[in-house]
Amino acid sequence: MYLYNVTVKIDLSKHDDWLHWMIHAHIPDVMQTGLFTAYQICKLLEQDESDGVTYSIQYRCANLSDYFTYQKQHAPALQQAHAHRYQNHFVAFRTIMRLVAEGS
């Protein structure tokens, strides 16, 4: 199992619109690709929020092939839509991680 993690710090002035758009438009578009099995949105705590709020959006995928397919066929357009909508109001970085152990 792999986790594709997108960490975003969004300006306070765009926060409410961004969170609504992520939940109701962007994430559904990502999930509709069929390449991820689940997602979660986490808000980072104990962060200075004077200039923005930071979130980690994590998407689960079964294998690296699905991740690379997403990166090649879907990510550019989806990332561009996000960048265009929130231009100059966010910073983001992305990582891919392999799940080593999981508990309950």
Residue 92: give its domain's CATH number. 3.30.70.100
Give residue 57's pLDDT: 98
Q: Which of 86, 63, 81 is nearest to 8 (CA)?
A: 86
Burial class of residue 103 (count of CB atoms within 10 Å of its CB; 0-12, 13-18, 19+): exposed
Give the position of tokens 């357009």: 77
Does residue 69 belong to any structural domain of this protein? yes
The domain total for the chain is: 1
Does residue 13 belong to any structural domain of this protein? yes
Q: φ and ψ at 102, to 5 degrees?
A: -145, 145
Q: Report how far residue 71's alpha carbon sits from residue 77's, in angstroms, rounded to the nearest whole number.
A: 10
- pLDDT bin (cut points 50, 70, 90) of residue 78 is very high
Does residue 104 belong to any structural domain of this protein? no
Does residue 36 belong to any structural domain of this protein? yes
Per residue in 15-74, pLDDT tens?
Answer: 999 999 999 999 999 999 999 999 999 999 998 889 999 999 999 999 999 999 999 999
Give residue 100's pLDDT: 95
Which residues constitute the domain of residue 19? 2-98
Does residue 85 belong to any structural domain of this protein? yes
Does the reported pTM lie above 0.85? yes
Does residue 103 belong to any structural domain of this protein? no
Give residue 104's pLDDT: 86
Burial class of residue 6 (count of CB atoms within 10 Å of its CB; 0-12, 13-18, 19+): buried
Contacts of 34 (CB under 8 A, 6+ apart): none
More confident call, 104 vs 60 = 60
